[in-house]
Amino acid sequence: MERSLEEKRYEGLSPFELKNKLIAMARNNHERGMLNAGRGNPNWVAVTPRKGFFQFGFFALQESERNPHRPRLGASPEKEGIAGRFEDYLDENRDAEGVSFLSEAYDYVRNELKLDPDEFVCEMVDAILGDHYPTPDRVLTHSETIIRTYLEQEMFGNDPGAGRFDLFPTEGGTAAMDYIFTSLMENKLLHKGDRIALGTPIFTPYLEIPHLNDYEFIELEIMQDENTDWQYADSEIEKLADPEVKAFFLVNPANPTSVSMQERTLDKIGELVRTRRQDLIILTDDVYGTFVNGFRSLAAVAPYNTILVYSYSKYFGATGWRLGVIGLHENTILDKMVAALPESDRKELYERYSTVELDPDNMKLIDRMVADSRSVALHHTAGLSTPQQVQMVLFSLYCLVDTKDAYKEETQSIVSHRFKTLYGAMGAPYPDNAYDAHYYTTIDIPTLAGERYGDDFAEDLVKQHEPIDFVWRLAEEKSIVLMDGGGFDAPNMSVRVSLANLPDSDYDAIGKGISSLLEDYYNEWRSSKE
């Protein structure tokens, strides 16, 4: 009873905050080490593009020291002849770490993207030195071209039909979310009390942000069906036809289920937007897309309506770099919606942006996001740090030159192996689904209980215990920390396991721990019936 009362106190917290309590309990169990598969921080690091980054930094410093102000004070790079000097550097250091990759990347930039070598190298040198504010502030010119090419490959399947997207690199995907919500409200595209649709289960901030005083949205859930491998039924997608639904926010592949939408669902939403909901705003967070072969974003099928968010953090093991990007089609419907606002609203927005733009009426929404990210008044300091943009470019080029997708196979194999290890240790068949990213997995504990010990036990498990009791006892008794799936709007008493952040062997222990605790519940239940 005492534990139940304490659990009730914590049930209102975000799973990410509840996790801190679970960690504290797991650490108190000194006789064994804690296994924390709660947060999805990958435990791999993409080494080659980082070697390229640091090696390129040495070249940039060499350029800075060509005409120093003082013995210890370099100067800004000189564009004239810089590409030739870079080629000489690559040749002279051909055996050094990271140089082979830089040579491949440089050849791709010149031969495939047809970028001017001097302009490209000078932009990157100046950027990695970080001696100027980001200019243009939204994104460096050649950086945008390269990042866009990467997104077209990974998010659009190189389908030219999606068209051209303008990009705004941000301090990770979380900053992207913040900037997007702010600009949608500031530009009168969303208002307090608006009805928005959420593709659930979903990353918890998308559940929590709408309730804040800044937004006060009314939520409509578009539910994935656990019984169809976490896909959206046609009847759920049809909810988006309601004109009262102003926006649809989703994570794809989803978090916590880690499953992407099937092609038929993408096509259905694309058709709905083209025919009946040309005014629907879509926000798709596609950070896990690279873990699914043949992935296509909603931005590929509904490009004019969709705001694309992507982060480099998970795929490249780079959460600390804070590298995200917002993409909006150059002919996005959102710009047309802003232009069609009532005159009083347009006048207010004209005043808001008039200090940073001579023609505010024709200022694109994505450029307004840049201004809004610095409360407009600090627009002159906007933009992602230029060294961060260089690392983003090198991550992008690393995959663009990898024509055999060797890196993709390596990262996918890590999480796939852990996925199978976990389910094998639980003694349960693993879901075999081509749309599964395997970055997380959501385990429905009552369903597992019913399959293993019968429906009567499963029903009582839910009735007799608080929804977070399983993750609570798992931490307290087994020193295993998992996320509460219910906090993501997944089924009650489900758990989310991150398959990214622990050594392979630990997933065997986690699977056995889940199975052992479930057996403990069953034995307690059976004893109570005797």
| pLDDT tens digit sequence for 8-45 | 677 667 776 777 777 787 777 644 567 888 888 999 99
| Whole-number pLDDT of residue 207 | 84
CATH number (domain holding residue 123): 1.10.20.110
Residue 43 sits at the vertex; the CA angle it makes with 42 and 44, to the nearest 5 degrees, is 95
Let me know whether 123 and 154 are in one domain.
no
What confidence tier does 477 reach under pLDDT thresholds 50, 70, 90?
Answer: very high
In a domain, 325, yes or no: yes
Mean pLDDT of 454-468: 95
- pLDDT tens-digit profile of 334-390? 999 999 999 999 999 999 999 999 999 999 999 999 999 999 999 999 999 999 999
| Whole-number pLDDT of residue 37 | 86
Let me know whether 302 and 373 are in one domain.
yes
| Whole-number pLDDT of residue 286 | 98
The answer, yes or no, to whether residue 526 has pLDDT greater than 80, is yes
In a domain, 42, yes or no: no
Structural domain of 303 = 141-400
Phi, psi of 195 (to 5 degrees): -90, 125
| Whole-number pLDDT of residue 30 | 47
| Whole-number pLDDT of residue 493 | 94
Let me know whether 373 and 387 are in one domain.
yes
| Whole-number pLDDT of residue 204 | 83
In a domain, 40, yes or no: no
Looking at the 3D structure of the chain, how many domains does it have? 3
Query: Which amino acid would we find at residue 293?
Result: N
Integer Cα distance of 435 and 229 in angstroms: 9
Let me know whether 475 and 499 are in one domain.
yes
- pLDDT tens-digit profile of 229-264? 999 999 999 999 999 999 999 999 999 999 999 999
Let me know whether 298 and 357 are in one domain.
yes
The answer, yes or no, to whether residue 98 has pLDDT greater than 50, is yes
The answer, yes or no, to whether residue 99 has pLDDT greater than 90, is yes
Whole-model pTM: value is: 0.94
In a domain, 96, yes or no: yes
- pLDDT tens-digit profile of 255-302? 999 999 999 999 999 999 999 999 999 999 999 999 999 999 999 999
* DSSP assignment letter at 436: B
Let me know whether 183 and 283 are in one domain.
yes
Domain boundary among 370, 400, 430: 400
Domain boundary among 365, 400, 435: 400
What confidence tier does 46 reach under pLDDT thresholds 50, 70, 90?
Answer: very high
Let me know whether 105 and 205 are in one domain.
no
CATH number (domain holding residue 21): 3.90.1150.10
| Whole-number pLDDT of residue 213 | 77
| Whole-number pLDDT of residue 371 | 98
**3-state SS string for 30-55:** CCCCCEECCCCCCCCCCHHHHHHHHH
The answer, yes or no, to whether residue 205 has pLDDT greater than 80, is yes
| Whole-number pLDDT of residue 287 | 97
Tell me the average pLDDT of the chain: 94
Percent of the chain with pLDDT over 70: 96
Q: Are 288 and 255 in contact (CB under 8 A)?
A: yes
Let me know whether 204 and 82 are in one domain.
no
Let me know whether 154 and 98 are in one domain.
no
What confidence tier does 4 reach under pLDDT thresholds 50, 70, 90?
Answer: low
In a domain, 39, yes or no: no
- pLDDT tens-digit profile of 130-148? 999 999 999 999 999 999 9
In a domain, 136, yes or no: no
Phi, psi of 250 (to 5 degrees): -150, 160
What confidence tier does 510 reach under pLDDT thresholds 50, 70, 90?
Answer: very high
Let me know whether 235 and 167 are in one domain.
yes
Phi, psi of 133 (to 5 degrees): -60, 150
Let me know whether 365 and 469 are in one domain.
no
Taking each helix axis from N to C terminus, what angle separates 406-426 and 386-400, rounded to the nearest 10 degrees? Answer: 90
In a domain, 185, yes or no: yes
Residue 187 sits at the vertex; the CA angle it makes with 184 and 191, to the nearest 5 degrees, is 65
CATH number (domain holding residue 356): 3.40.640.10
| Whole-number pLDDT of residue 33 | 66
| C-alpha dihedral, 11 to 14 to 19 to 25, nearest 10° | -30
Domain boundary among 66, 98, 129: 129
| Whole-number pLDDT of residue 34 | 76
Least confident of 1-15, 104-118, 284-298, 440-454: 1-15
In a domain, 41, yes or no: no
What confidence tier does 487 reach under pLDDT thresholds 50, 70, 90?
Answer: confident
Let me know whether 207 and 116 are in one domain.
no
